[in-house]
Amino acid sequence: MTRVLVTGGCGFVGSNLVATLQRAGGFEIVVLDDESLGSRANLQDFSGTFLKGDIADRGLVRRALADVNVVVHLAAHTRVIESIETPEKTFHANVAGTFGLLEECRRAGIRRFVNASTGGAIVGDVVPPVTEEFPPRPLSPYGASKLATEGLCSAYTASYGMACVSLRFSNIYGPGSLHKGSVVAHFLKQVLALRPLIVYGDGTQQRDYLFIDDLVEGLVRVLKSDATGTFQLGSGKGTPLNELIAIIGRVTGRSLDVRYEAVRTGEIHSTWNDTAKARAAFGFDPRTSLADGIARTWDWFRAQQADGRPLG
């Protein structure tokens, strides 16, 4: 039986991962989350251990690591624009929090550490597709903070023999993303609220959108592998924002009010991932089309609205 600590386990990715691990069997799960975005209520039928608190609370982290074999570190401050406005908050959560967690893992003898990183925010504005070999040029404190966590993981692998892997997530979407500020969740909430969709730029900017089930399958594959280093997890395709909006329009069957405004500082124009390294190392193979994924996500958001849940 593998005992896994999932930090940020109440969030969008974390709650989906926890549910998948429970269904798979063979895992004892510990969740550490401060419930600032996610909620314990997101862990439906959860039979593991839940600890509420800040990832920077070293005493709480020591308790969470008791008898743990593997750590999946998802807790983070993830919003690019907010990181520009409050860089210290981003540093505290992402850099200081990850360092403290790694230190407690080292002291506890944890040998496997899976770190959630990011893609485009680290490499900056480059010509895609992006590979893991691109030199890092972060344009925001968020990107810089995630680059720092990758550096820490690399150092702890080389210095202490901890098998660390950093996974650069693309734009993740899907059911369970009620509190996400990313574009798919935001746009679907705007559609349900009959509000306009604001596009910063001309809509030609491209992103790599990965459905949550495909991401979680990738995470499970990583947990069962001995891979170390940095890997990109994405669809491997770039989708223009205008095309995403067109898909949302077809899926929802609604006429969308789209408004274009000036580009925001710190955001790159286009990025998508080359996932060949992850495919070769642990068989990563996303299969959900964007249209199917958006349809499933839209059905989930409509169900939340029907249940009377505030959409934010």
Which residues are known to be catalytic? 142
Structure tokens at 202: 């001309």
| Residue 145: count of CB within 10 angstroms of its CB | 28
Within 10 A of 111 (CB to CB), how many other CB atoms are there?
14
Q: Give CA 196 to chain center in angstroms.
A: 26
Can you read off the two tokens belonging to residue 261?
Answer: 């405004």
What is the DSSP code (8-state) at residue 93? I
Alpha-carbon distances of 129 from 55, 135, 199, 275, 298, rounded to whole Å = 33, 13, 23, 9, 28
- Assign 283 to helix, strand or coil: coil
Q: What is the largest CA-CA distance in the chain?
A: 56
CA atoms of 41 and 35, how far apart (whole Å): 10
Position of tokens 């593998």?
A: 2
- C-alpha 80/C-alpha 142 separation (Å) is 6
Q: E-strand spans in the chain?
A: 2-7, 27-33, 49-52, 70-73, 112-118, 163-169, 171-173, 197-200, 206-207, 209-211, 229-233, 239-240, 258-261
Dist CA 283 CA 220 (whole Å): 11
Q: Within its chain, how far is the Cα of 74 from the centroid?
A: 7
CA dist 20 and 14 (Å) reads 10
Cis peptide before 87 (omega within 30 of 0): no
What backbone torsions phi and psi does residue 109 show, to the nearest 5 degrees?
A: 80, 25
